[in-house]
A and B are shown apart, each in its own frame.
Chain A
Amino acid sequence: MSAAIERTSSAAAPTGYFRNPWRKPRILQGVTIGYLLWSLLPVVIAVIFSFNAGRSRISWQGFSLRWWTQDPTDSLLRDAAMRSAMAQTYKLAFLTVLVAVPLGTLFAIGIDRWHGRPARTANFTMLLSFVVPEIILGVSLYILFTNLLQGLVPLGTPAQVLGLISFQLSYPVIIVRARLLTIGPEYEEAAMDLGATPSRAIRRVLLPLIAPAILASVALVFADVVDDFVTVAALSAEASSETLAQKIYTASRASPTPEVNAAATMMLITTLLVVAGGLLLYRRFSRGQRDIATTDFMQL
């Protein structure tokens, strides 16, 4: 018996490896590691080259902060055009989150509870806005704002904000809705049995329960708007309404310097910070979730 086992394990090690059902998945591991490298290495290289002393983005000529702060006209923080692009990016992100998340959350709560034909139509339209390719939405809004609503909504920041909200509206809906599916109406019903008005029940009971989802959608929408390019480009007007993403796009088709790398790194840092912040807050809210719910009940 032991001889047989020995023979199996020593005979042709590769097939022995493949025959072992509990083997380590080396091939999969290799593919995955290869994929991760392929996926993240270019970005890492781009970030590193933003600190390049020379003009090239592929041949390293030494470390320098030239493209970040030192160059008088072509550095990220001193180039007025880049600074205005950064300001515009964050302004758009902030405004969009401000409108899209509350609107989307309300919509999600309503759709979850309301059953009926019009509800299904509204839901369908919302999902439609999620799957539509962005160029279709961007061009349609451009045509809307330059024809029917010409003069009412000038292109530039107003149009960009409206367009971004329309495009991002479906994200909070989907995220909050997913969370709501796991929360039945029991909590609010219990609250109302104890005498709360519906609005109160929602405010004191439901909102804290879905707070993690709301936070997640804030982070997601913010990051998405910072990275957004198609809608913003379609609806931009003059230079002051251009965002970092647009600047990267136009520069990369022209003569990109590491300043563009710096701009892209800036975008990256922002989104990572927002996502990390959202994640931390999410953990904090979720951890205390059960406690929050019970104390609310006590108060009622």
Chain B
Amino acid sequence: MPEIAAPAAEAGGSRRRLRRRRESVAQPGRDGGVWYPRWYWPSFVAPGSVWLALLFLLPFYVVFSVAFGTVDFGNFGQPVPYYAPWWWSFETFNETLSKFYEGTAIYRPPLFRTFVYVFSATAICLVIGYTVAYYAARAATKYKGLILIMLVSPLWISYLMRIYAWQGLLEVDGPINFLMQPLGLGDTNWLAGMHVTVILGLVYGYIPFMILPIYASLDRIQESLLEAGRDLGANGRQTFWRVTLPLSRPAILAGIVIVTLPMFGDYYTNDLLGTTKTSMFGNLISEQRTQTGGSTRMASLVLILGVIVLVPMLYYLRETKRAAEQA
């Protein structure tokens, strides 16, 4: 031990005083490598884990407690959470859930609309996004860097600002209607609850998240693979279908999930570009913030939304784990 410590004292001692540490000094041991104490790496992970436990997992438990609690109408509808699971009452939760399927099912249209919007917007994002990513990755020449920067820049621009910018352009006497006049659509009130507006707004907002993973994956495809395809007789289109597209499949899936998940909880796009006629699931939640007894209903809706996005979330997590293991 002294023999090993001496060189360290010589080398580092000139820069600063070498404090003798009682903790483990590196010992050559198994694997020919080093041996860390058992608590070493966990202590790195601990602060983040404690944080997550307190401010990520605990809130979910409180959401359960509030959703399965009751409402105190005398106190302006404040929630009364039941923290112990055996007190849980499913009355308010059932009431909210029943709004999805029972009777007039007032929550069913927003739910249905949300699915339609998300799927349409994701599909459009995919088509446009893939095309743009393909061009940027494979075909652009000396402007590649510039194009990349311009593709990435919307990520740095606030989502809110981008939708706000569109809100101005879509006003009845705005430039969009001006451009639409030759098509005879110059008088459309785009902001009066049109589904197209909201869907295109969602596309506009989330498409950069689709472009990036696909670009990254397409960029990594080696030229040699494509040339091999060509050598074997495929023309451009076949090369695309049978070589490029399958190779970029994981990125497509990743892009779809990255875009779909936040879209399910989106409410501000509709707030800015639509009306109650185009309300989404997120609007149901945000509406409850200001209603009497709203906290409990919000909790129930959050649980339901969580279940809806659970499947794509778990799928994404499984895929990233698999990708990490392969890497």
Contacts and interface: CB of A to CB of B under 8 A. Distances in A.
A2 interface: no
Contacts of A134: 262, 265
Contact of A133 (B47, B166, B262): B262
Contact of A36 (B60, B151, B305): B151
Most buried by B among A35, A134, A185: A35
A197 B36 CA distance: 10
Interface stretch (A72-80, A210-218, A226-234): A226-234
Contacts of A39: 150, 154, 204, 207-208
Interface stretch (B6-14, B90-98, B105-113, B217-225): B6-14
Contacts, number: 291
A78 B28 CA distance: 65
A198 B26 contact: yes
Given A110-B42, A143-B299, A169 B48 contact: yes
Given A185-B33, A230-B268, A35 B158 contact: no
A43 B157 contact: yes
B247 interface: no
Contact of A264 (B28, B164, B235, B305): B164
B180 interface: no
B56 A46 contact: no
A219 B66 CA distance: 37
A195 B60 contact: no
A115 B47 CA distance: 17
Contacts of B49: 107, 122, 125
B256 interface: no
A275 B156 contact: yes
Interface string B279-311: 000100110010000010011001001100100
Interface in A18-75: 21, 25, 28-29, 31-32, 35-36, 38-40, 42-43, 45-46, 49, 57-59
A289 to B, nearest CB: 21
Interface string B120-162: 0000000010011011100110000001001101101111111
Nearest to B6: A195
A13 interface: no
Interface stretch (A4-12, A90-98, A186-194, A280-288): A186-194
A43 B161 contact: yes
Contacts of A107: 44-45, 47-49
Contacts of A35: 128, 131-132
- The 10 lowest CB-CB distance pairs between A and B, nearest first, are A110-B44, A133-B265, A195-B8, A107-B48, A192-B26, A114-B41, A140-B59, A227-B158, A110-B45, A42-B165
Interface of B: 4-5, 7-8, 11-12, 15, 21, 23-26, 28, 33-34, 36, 40-49, 51-53, 55-60, 62-63, 65-66, 79, 81, 83, 128, 131-132, 134-136, 139-140, 147, 150-151, 153-154, 156-162, 164-169, 171, 173-175, 204, 207-208, 230, 235-236, 257, 261-262, 264-268, 271-272, 282, 285-286, 289, 295, 298-299, 302, 305-306, 309, 313, 316-317, 320-321, 324, 327
21 contacts: A31-B135, A39-B207, A43-B162, A110-B43, A113-B41, A124-B321, A125-B52, A131-B316, A135-B286, A143-B62, A147-B79, A166-B51, A166-B56, A195-B8, A197-B25, A245-B158, A249-B160, A264-B161, A268-B157, A299-B12, A300-B11
